[in-house]
Chains A and B, each alone.
Chain A
Amino acid sequence: MPPTRLCAPLQSNSERVMPPPGSSADPADWYSFLGIGPGATTEQITAAVERLSRQANALAVTAPERARQLRDQARAIKQDLLSGAESRQRYDHGLAARTANDADTQPPGPVLRQAPAGYPMAAPAGPATPRPTASPPGPAIQSGPMPYGYSPPPVVRAPGVQAPGLMSRISKFLQTGWTCVSCGYGTQPTDKFCPKCGNRVESGLGGPQASGSAAGQVRPDAPSREPETLRSRCGQCGTWAAPGDTFCMRCGGGLTPGKSEN
């Protein structure tokens, strides 16, 4: 067979995200949607939902909108069928009522349901979520949390209670950036001696200990004023220094005693 030469005008590759009511993929009945029976065990439902979310993953590159729809559906199913016995019972009752209703009234129409608080409201997700009866499919549904949204993992070591030794090392960091003053080697905050040259890197500086709760805010260039306590300041550049500093942390100059404002 020779390669096909295509001359027809190209058709838009728009994706439909909602199956029309009554189609084989109609999610009004999660059980049939997942290909399991209404009496399925939690394990069977879990396995089927897992498969659905894996299919969503598999379609993420080639059909992102459909993948998003599948993820929304998986979330809705988890909410209805896997978030506790009561939730599933409520869903089963609703499903049974709808089925009975459908049998009484033909043709079946969409059934409205009050969405419980916190229900994921991506449009195709709920079994009885109102949906358009017109057949042309709507645009991609964007509601709901972004499945690939970043939620950076906590990578920060929580600031611990400052033991006197740690306080001194923090002060040291503020002065030297935990760099050994003798050889310039970058040391760790827990180091007492430089691992390269053996010079003592822990200073004897400390600070008061206390606890508080009110969250404060800082602003970058509010009017500066001198600190209240008796401090030293650099004779060369005027920078205020931490208690016990001998040399200026900004320019390295010798420090002169400051005056108290109080």
Chain B
Amino acid sequence: MAEPTALGIDLGTTLSVAAQVNHAGLPVVLPNAEGSATTPSVVLFDRGSIVVGSIARESLATEPELVVQLVKRNMGSSWSFDYQGISYGAEHISALILRKVLGDAQLLAGPVSQAVVTVPAYFNDPMRAATRSAAELAGIQVLGLLSEPTAAALAFGYERRPTGATGVVVDLGGGTFDVTVMDYDGADLAVRATGGDYYLGGANFDKVLFDFFAEQFAAAHGLNINDPDALSIEECTQISHDWLLRATRAKHDLTSRERTTAALHAAGLLLRVEVRRDMFLARSKPLLDEVSEKIVDVLAAAGVTPKDVDFVLAVGGSTRIPAVRERVHDIFGKPPDMSVSPDEAVALGAALFAAQRQLEQGSALDMDGQARDYLEKLTVTDVAAHTLGISVVDPGENVGNRRIMVPLLPRNTRLPFDTKQAFYTMRPGEQRIMVPILEGEEADPQLCRRIGEVVIDGLPPSRPAHQEVLVRMRLDKDGILRVAAADVATGLAASTMIVHANRQVSPDAADAAVRAAPIE
């Protein structure tokens, strides 16, 4: 009996989308219960129930302190949202969003629980781990995490089937920015280099307009809405979110119009502000410069020039901003291809990848023969988004015991990758060797993220100094990192496996609340 095709879920900063490959072999978006292709990644805590989506987003203007948005920016951090005695982390909020997306998808797709969930290519290990935890909390059987630009490239490649081509995916979403250079060769997709910024997206452009509103209001009425003397916290919060929604609306208007108007209310005062596209462009210049810089950096890392690029794929809602498209055009000398819907491309690609994973695992899928052939042949080769290495003592002269990060697996290394390197102990009589595993681009270990460690214990007390320790690091295509260290003299060894699925914190009240809460 044929199994249901797994879902592809784009867990976005501002919008989330679910897609599935249908019987004809085409990836299609599954509309939510409200009939919309996209579900705002916004959560409203409404006393006994949880509301996710557009209603929650609308509540930002009336009950802002009960609404959570842009939570993806806090993934992997200590951020929390406290409600009714329960402290919800970013993965809990994301799990609520995923529960809504999964539940709505199941209305159309049936009882399917397997899915591929996408993450920004530039997400680091804790962020990916939190995303996986969120999906598992939501009851999703995770077939894998897939980088968002890779997913978009997959959707594009499935439709166009380019061969011997080099493409660039520019993914400027609601909160994150990724650039990826890819090689297409039939059913083989290989990432050459990737880079980005997980704090650059549409929300930054909204803030530009919000700041403009605040300036104009202060100039016209002498009221600074952030002044604690002028407005209470409640008023400030409510007005801020009302204006932020108006800023988002104005930004959308300016994608097709040269000017728009926003009506701003605060403390019984009214101001109608004209917003012009040229003003928005001028104020957004620092953000646009960041976009350009990242694109150029990634092209350099991939070893390609703009002339080598056959097409540029623009995905993410913020690539609709005309100034972003113009920047891309200026860099590559050609307009970005927007033939795949910027809001849906990532989910569509994730759905294809999910089906490919199922076929790889031997699942019997009821699917068109040609599509099955393509997906069975499909290979996706990704790269490490961040450098991985270990912390050791600097061998330089006159540096004391200063530690340095020694990269073993440089960023943009094609996966899977396997490497080993010899290191040496410093002092005689060491019975325990600890190898901290780091992720990051800095030489100073303090500026890198510590993602694990390997400890060799039980070494004999009489060991002299300068003993060889062999460290082996392997990162597979699913992002599973294995690190092993062995003391060569004694043969003693230790290893660790860092899998994004391994959630080390014990289940807490928030976990239970996330699983039990009714979602609207």
Interface residue ranges, A against B (CB under 8 Å): 1-6, 8-11, 13-20, 23-25, 46-47, 49-55, 57-59, 61-63, 65-66, 70, 147-159, 162, 167, 170-171, 173-174, 177-178, 186, 189, 207-225, 227-229, 240, 242-243, 249
Contacts and interface: CB of A to CB of B under 8 A. Distances in A.
A156 B435 CA distance: 13
Given A149-B77, A152-B125, A212-B459, 16 more contacts: A2-B272, A3-B274, A14-B224, A16-B228, A25-B233, A61-B244, A154-B505, A170-B484, A170-B495, A173-B484, A173-B495, A174-B493, A177-B472, A219-B426, A222-B465, A242-B486
B78 to A, nearest CB: 5
B9 interface: no
Interface string B452-465: 11111111110001
Scoring B222, B416, B504 by chain A CB atoms within 10 A of each residue's CB, the highest score goes to: B504
B81 A155 contact: no
Contact of B491 (A62, A159, A207): A207
Given A16-B229, A61-B203, A211-B457, A149 B432 contact: no
Contact of B65 (A57, A66, A215): A57
B219 interface: yes
Interface in B332-347: none
B76 interface: yes
B272 A54 contact: no
B393 A218 contact: yes
Nearest to A171: B493
Contact of A63 (B65, B219, B236): B236
9 contacts: A2-B272, A9-B219, A11-B222, A13-B214, A170-B493, A171-B493, A213-B432, A220-B395, A227-B468
Contacts of A210: 457-460, 492
Interface string B264-284: 000000111110000000000
A175 B58 CA distance: 58
Contact of A159 (B83, B207, B455): B455
A207 B490 contact: yes
Given A4-B272, A159-B496, A220-B395, A152 B219 contact: no
Interface string B437-473: 1000000000001111111111111000111111010
Interface in B198-222: 203, 207, 210-211, 214-216, 218-220, 222
Contact of A58 (B237, B468, B490): B237
A148 B228 contact: no
B431 interface: yes
B227 interface: yes
A243 B125 CA distance: 35
Interface of B: 64-68, 70, 74, 76-79, 81-85, 125-126, 129-130, 203, 207, 210-211, 214-216, 218-220, 222, 224, 226-229, 232-234, 236-237, 240-241, 243-244, 261, 270-274, 392-395, 401, 406, 416, 418, 420-427, 429-435, 437, 449-461, 465-470, 472, 474, 476, 482, 484, 486, 488-500, 502-505
A132 to B, nearest CB: 15
Nearest to B74: A148
Contacts, number: 307
B122 to A, nearest CB: 15
Given A13-B224, A62-B240, A219-B423, A207 B492 contact: yes
A100 B233 CA distance: 28
Nearest to B472: A174
Contacts of B229: 16, 19-20, 23, 25
A212 B431 contact: yes
A218 B493 contact: no
B488 A156 contact: no
Nearest to B66: A54
A212 B458 contact: yes
Given A66-B236, A210-B458, A211-B458, A155 B451 contact: yes
B245 to A, nearest CB: 11
Given A4-B220, A8-B219, A58-B64, A153 B504 contact: yes
A147 B393 CA distance: 31
Contact of B433 (A50, A216, A227): A216
Nearest to A156: B452
B226 A242 contact: no
B244 A62 contact: yes
A58 B491 contact: no
Contacts of A149: 77-78
A151 B74 CA distance: 11
A240 to B, nearest CB: 6
Contacts of B449: 150, 152
A156 B425 contact: no
B486 A170 contact: yes
Contact of B401 (A212, A217, A223): A217
B454 A159 contact: yes
B498 to A, nearest CB: 5
A57 B87 CA distance: 13
Contacts of A173: 472, 474, 482, 484, 495
Contacts of B216: 6, 10
Nearest to A151: B78
A214 B429 contact: yes
B450 A58 contact: no
A9 B218 CA distance: 10
B237 A59 contact: yes
B486 A54 contact: no
A214 B432 contact: yes
Contacts of A240: 468, 488
B228 A218 contact: no
B274 A62 contact: no
A6 B220 contact: yes
Nearest to B223: A11
A5 B472 contact: no
A171 B491 contact: yes
Contact of A222 (B272, B401, B426, B492): B426
B474 A213 contact: no
Contacts of A218: 392-393, 423-426, 433, 435, 469
